Structure 1
Amino acid sequence: MTDLSRRGFIGTSGLVIAGAAAVSGRTAFAAVPEAPTMTSAATQAPLMPTSGPDYQPVATLNGWTLPWRMNGDWKEFHLVAEPVERELAPGMIAYLWGYNGQSPGPTIEAVEGDKVRIYVTNKLPENTTIHWHGQRLPNGMDGVGGLNQPHIPSGKTFVYEFQLRRSGTYMYHPHSDEMVQMAMGMMGMFIVHPKDPAFRRVDRDFVFLLNAFDIEAGSYVPKVNTMLDFNLWAWNSRVFPGIDPFVVGKNDKVRIRFGNLTMTNHPIHMHGYEFKVSCTDGGWVDPAAAWDEVSIDVAVGQMRAFDFVADEPGDWAIHCHKSHHTMNAMGHSVKTYIGVTKKDLVSRIRKAAPGYMPMGSNGMGDMGKMEMELPKNTLPMMTGYAQFGPVEMGGMFSVVKVREGLAKNDYKDPGWFKHPEGTVAFEYKGQKLAEAPRVEGPKVNPDLATWQVKDPRKPRLGADGKPLPGAKAGGHSNH
């Protein structure tokens, strides 16, 4: 696996205790598996099983799968909670908390019926725990600090042991200072494959987490107290154009799984296909009950998966359908200037600030191709180019790239789709078109070249220039 390294740990005194218990001491640490770490932000190749039941491993979008070792009949993993640096997209780094070098942490993969032993070492400056979101397990392994177990102090290692009782799509995250630690990026996916290799088998299986950050322009650390006004909407702590494509072969059966650990719901929409919703929080959807969608909403704390057959080649967009969630560094206090002529204002501003560029009079699309100076470590609202120009997107946006002739385990970006002749939308250059029919509306003064933008803080005025009866400054028309 590329960009993968291993590291050891320094022990103190203590014992290995059955359950979610502290591990320490030189003798005990000799039995602890090494903790792999990952530095690359690129999607790593799936980790193929070399023993035990066969399954199609997942490809974690801009992530990787945590290697394990067998110790008797236990499958052992080692997670390290620690501060990390994460590249959100080219040109912006965030200082986050995560696991094994990244945020989110590595995907854990195992098989229904496996007995798993997961060592968790805390290298954070405060206590932590891990909750295994959606799993059936002994109550003392559920990971709620203070309720089910002691918190894991900084510098200590605890052990979680449980048997995987059902297959499906799950998550892991802290239940210790949860608001801060999740806002800082601490989370990961946990995939449990069916023990029957033929059950709901697909050719390519992708997984990612939806998360969000509020990072002020020029800053590196998220604001952990933000509740709703996030400015960076991410998939696996990456934002477009930093999100890798989903690369699939033509006629592959494909599954896309995702979990939502943001503070709001997300309607995930894929272009070009209808798909079958195949898995939810509660488990697999019976094929007879599966329903067709082109968008599927995922609420906070939920997991969803859908399947489709990739029989339409091309570069198909996939994104959250909340329009603000496909933008980067969204400023929520920016005023709307659509229809406002700023020609005179611009000339005066340029005397004091040469090079000033007005924005927003005709919409925000021009920002997709503007190259303007930004504070260090800040992304533009829209960025990313494709073969026909700026994509005018950011945030939760990627591309499903369906290609003929891909090898089974080839996940490399194949570049932009070569459209067959005559299949791209084009400019009409024929005879002048007749005026389209329209509903007759009120007459508009032809001298008004632009829309008039009203300041709601000022009272409405009548024809005589005086305030209308009942008009108050700061009033709202819908109150």
Structure 2
Amino acid sequence: MMNRRQLLGAGAGGAALLSTTAWAQTSNMGLPEAALMDGPATQPPAAPASGVPYNPVVTLNGWTLPFRMNNGVKEFHLVAEPVERELAEGMTAYLWGYNGQSIGPTIEAVEGDRVRIFVTNRLPEHTTVHWHGLILPSGMDGVGGLSQPGIPPGKTFVYEFDLVKSGTFMYHPHADEMVQMAMGMMGFFIVHPKDPAFMPVDRDFLIMLNAFDIDPGSYVPKVMTMTDFNLWTWNSRIFPSIDPLVVSKNDRVRVRVGNLTMTNHPIHMHGYDFEVTCTDGGWVRPEARWPEVTIDIPVGAMRAYEFDAVHLGDWAIHCHKSHHTMNAMGHDVPTFIGADKRALTRKIRLVQPEYMPMGSTGMAEMAEMSMPLPDNTVPMMAGWGPHGPLEMGGMFSVVKVREGISAGDYSDPGWYENPPGTQAWEWTGDLPEASRAAASPVGADPVSGTAQPENPHAGHAGHN
């Protein structure tokens, strides 16, 4: 039998291959094969080969964990282990995750399924898995010391329960939680409705909000950081290395966003308004849905929204906290706006000829200059579009709506070319005269223009 690296080495379809070939051969041979993914590209969705049909989800820069059927039970195998995750081109982090990646692979099943999840611990300390938001027996809830003992290093525990409701859920440790989650241990658990006609969509995307504090030039996150994170990520990736959300015009699209950081995130999508259709607690009834263009995702929560892709174009989607669309943010950088650094620059260049003064007119120039950086870090502002630098990082991507995208095709279609007359242009004629109010004396009456005393009681000292 091929090992998991050989199977997945076949390319994007490797993970799906496990569920239909090698896994079928081992369905009654003990512990399921532990699938591995060691690349950061978005994997095509794996359609169900049997059972209740559903439209599979797409995890940006991630993948779905294969399963095997064993006497009517869906069996999965998660491996908690140290991993190397490429956060962006030129930057790798030494994290903890599952099956070779952070975030871990997405688990997909159907309401009414019985699932059996083998969890093998290859970490240097004990761990557990908490199934965030799922309704299950207390002993399967995954809280170390409360509902179960910790899984020791080198051991495998089994979680088994019925999926009694559909929706969007998460999984993460509940053992040394501060350290293990700060190191990147988390993933999605998607339960599709047992009725395929309930809440159908054409494209279904997953985004996990997570964050790290990693000094430029280093590889391991600072696990004691509370709020001053310098890398805000989606699925443990930062822009410009977050894949786009590719959809075909008129598709019904769902975007599910989970938040396992230590602050809230207002996720804003350009070009559309949308309806909030799901929370951690379940689906929102049609009469209770509300329209938004920005949805705030609380800590430890999930929100899903839906829209009809009727507007062609490249539409930004991002966190609206401006520091969360920056990479490698330094929090002690002084502000130089308005400062004249010319004399200082001349002196510095006597000892450092390549010195580049920055910040006197703002920070946009950082996105245009190629500055030497320490190893294993990325620029604070990065990414190039069809019209110049995008000046973004962190929690940012693009929803790309195009005509004629085939079902199952999530490849990047390139940049959108705006039709003639639909793009902002430079005005080269005369500027119109500004409308100004007539000059009036200080303190003048705003209607008559007559000067008024600054203090109506001036000269009347002693009167109340």
- What is the TM-score of this pair, normalised by structure 2? 0.89
Per-residue CA deviations over 1:18-59 (Å, capped at 9, x if unaligned) read: xxxxxxxxx999411101001110111001011000111100
Match of 1:54 in 2: 53
Counterparts of 1:228-377 in structure 2, within 5 Å, are 228-377=227-376
Contact 2:276/2:306, CA 8 A, preserved across alignment? yes
In structure 2, distance between residues paired with 1:343 and 1:365: 19
Match of 1:411 in 2: 410
> Deviation of residue 399 (structure 1)?
0.2
**Distance 1:113-1:440 versus aligned 2 partners, 3 A rule:** farther
In structure 1, distance between residues paired with 2:143 and 2:349: 57
User: What secondary structure sits across from 1:409 in the alignment?
Assistant: coil
Corresponding letter in the other structure for 2:337: I
In structure 2, distance between residues paired with 1:282 and 1:58: 19
In structure 2, stretches of 5+ residues that fail to align are 1-7, 19-25, 443-464
User: What secondary structure sits across from 2:345 in the alignment?
Assistant: helix
- Whether 2:147 is the aligned partner of 1:148: answer yes
Corresponding letter in the other structure for 1:285: V
> Deviation of residue 303 (structure 1)?
0.5
RMSD of equivalent CA atoms: 2.0
Number of aligned residues: 424
> Deviation of residue 418 (structure 1)?
1.5
Runs of 4 or more consecutive aligned structure 1 residues displaced over 3 Å after TM superposition: 3-6, 27-30, 435-443
Per-residue CA deviations over 1:385-406 (Å, capped at 9, x if unaligned) read: 0100000000000000000011
Counterparts of 1:48-197 in structure 2, within 5 Å, are 48-197=47-196
In structure 1, distance between residues paired with 2:438 and 2:74: 69
Match of 2:22 in 1: none
In structure 2, distance between residues paired with 1:203 and 1:220: 38
> Deviation of residue 177 (structure 1)?
0.5
Corresponding letter in the other structure for 1:309: D
Contact 1:317/1:398, CA 8 A, preserved across alignment? yes
Corresponding letter in the other structure for 1:395: G
Identity %: 68
Per-residue CA deviations over 1:392-436 (Å, capped at 9, x if unaligned) read: 000000000000011111110000002111111111111233246
User: What secondary structure sits across from 2:77 in the alignment?
Assistant: strand
Contact 1:189/1:208, CA 8 A, preserved across alignment? no
Contact 2:27/2:69, CA 8 A, preserved across alignment? no
User: What secondary structure sits across from 1:78 in the alignment?
Assistant: strand
In structure 2, distance between residues paired with 1:114 and 1:436: 69
User: What secondary structure sits across from 2:209 in the alignment?
Assistant: strand
> Deviation of residue 437 (structure 1)?
4.0
Corresponding letter in the other structure for 2:208: L
- Once the two structures are overlaid, the 10-residue window that deviates more, 209-218 or 348-357, is 348-357
Per-residue CA deviations over 1:297-324 (Å, capped at 9, x if unaligned) read: 0011000100000000000000000000
Contact 1:240/1:397, CA 8 A, preserved across alignment? yes
Contact 1:310/1:402, CA 8 A, preserved across alignment? yes
In structure 1, stretches of 5+ residues that fail to align are 9-26, 444-479
**Distance 1:432-1:5 versus aligned 2 partners, 3 A rule:** closer
> Deviation of residue 442 (structure 1)?
13
- What is the TM-score of this pair, normalised by structure 1? 0.86
In structure 1, distance between residues paired with 2:369 and 2:440: 37
In structure 2, distance between residues paired with 1:28 and 1:286: 40
**Distance 1:116-1:371 versus aligned 2 partners, 3 A rule:** same
Corresponding letter in the other structure for 1:364: M
Corresponding letter in the other structure for 1:271: H
Corresponding letter in the other structure for 1:93: T
> Deviation of residue 438 (structure 1)?
7.8
Contact 2:75/2:115, CA 8 A, preserved across alignment? yes
